Amino acid sequence: MAINLIPPKLKQQRALSLVSNQVIFGFSVILIMLGIMSGAIFTYNSSLAKDIRKTDASLTEQNKRLKSFKDTESLIKTANQKLDLINETSGERTLWSNIIVEISNFTPKEVQIKAMDLNQDTITAAVAGVATTRKDIAIFKEKLEKGGFKNVTFTSSTYNQSTNDYTFSLSLGLEGKK
C-alpha cells in the first residue's frame, strides 16, 4: 500500500498542469510545423513565380521572333508571286534578238538588209534590203523557209539601174519562233 502525501487539490493541479503542458507542447509543435510548412510553401511559391516570369519572357521573345518570321514569309510570298509573274510573262514574250540573229544567219553575203519591222501583235516580220541578183533574193527566201519561218512572201522587188542592184521586201510569219 502506498500512502499519498500530496493533498488532492495539489494532485489535481499537477494533473491539470501536466495536461496543460502537454497541450502547450502540442500547440508549439503544431505552430513550429505550420511555420516550417509556411516557409516551404513561400519558397516554392517564389520559385514558381520566378519560373513563370522566365517563361513569360521567353514567350514574349518567341512571339517577337514569330512575327519576324511572318514578315519574312510575307516578303518571300510577295517575291515568289513577282517571280511567277515574270516567268509567265517571259514565257509569252518573243525574244526579238534571237529572231534578228536567226534572220541574219540566213542572209547570204550578196544580200544586205536595210530595214526590219517586227510586229508582236501579228507575229510577223517585214524585211527590206538590197541584193545583187534576184537569185540571191530567192536563195534568201528559201533559207528563211527552211529555217522554220512561215509564209515567206515577196511584197516587192525592183531593179535600180544607177546602183545595178535589186531592192526588195519580204514578209514572213514568226509562229513557233520565240
What is the residue extent of each domain of the chain? Answer: 17-93, 96-173
Residue 157 · residue 137 · CB < 8 Å:
yes
Confidence (pLDDT) at 96: 78
Confidence (pLDDT) at 92: 63
Confidence (pLDDT) at 91: 62
Confidence (pLDDT) at 176: 64
Distances (CA, A) of 169 to 113, 121, 129, 130, 142: 9, 20, 6, 9, 14
H/E stretch holding 148:
none
Residue 157 · residue 171 · CB < 8 Å:
no
* CATH architecture label of 96-173: 2-Layer Sandwich (3.30)
Confidence (pLDDT) at 56: 94
Low-confidence ranges of the chain (pLDDT < 70): 1, 4, 90-94, 176-178
Distances (CA, A) of 74 to 6, 70, 77, 83: 97, 6, 5, 14
Confidence (pLDDT) at 178: 55
Confidence (pLDDT) at 174: 79
Which bin fits 176, alpha (ψ -120 to 50), beta or left (φ > 0)? Answer: left
Closest among 133, 121, 124 to 164, alpha carbons compared: 133
Confidence (pLDDT) at 159: 86
